[in-house]
Amino acid sequence: MEGMNGRQSLKEKMVKNIKDYILKEQLKVGDKLPTERKLAEVYQVSRSVVREALSYLENTGVTESVQGKGTLVKAQDITPLIEGFLFSFQVNRGNLKDLMMLRLTFELAAIDVIERDETSLEAIERVLVNDASSFSIADDKAFHQSILEAVNVPLFKQMSAVVHAYFYQTPIKSSMIDNQLSIDDHQAIFDALKAKQFTKAKALLTQHLLRGAQFYDENCI
User: What per-residue confidence (pLDDT) applies to 19?
Assistant: 93
* Cα 24 from chain centroid (whole Å): 27
What's the pLDDT tens digit per position in 62-99?
898 998 899 999 877 666 766 666 677 665 666 677 77
What's the pLDDT tens digit per position in 27-64?
998 999 999 999 999 999 999 999 999 999 988 888 98
- CB-based contacts of 97, cutoff 8 Å, min separation 6: 210, 213, 214, 217
SS3 129: coil
Mean pLDDT value across the chain? 86
What's the pLDDT tens digit per position in 101-117?
888 999 999 999 999 99
Show the domains of the chain with their CATH numbers.
10-73 (1.10.10.10), 79-220 (1.20.120.530)
Helices (H), 25-132: 36-43, 47-59, 79-91, 96-117, 122-126
Look at residue 21 and tell me whether its pLDDT is greater than 90. Answer: yes
Residue pair 70/35 in contact (Cβ under 8 Å)? The answer is: yes
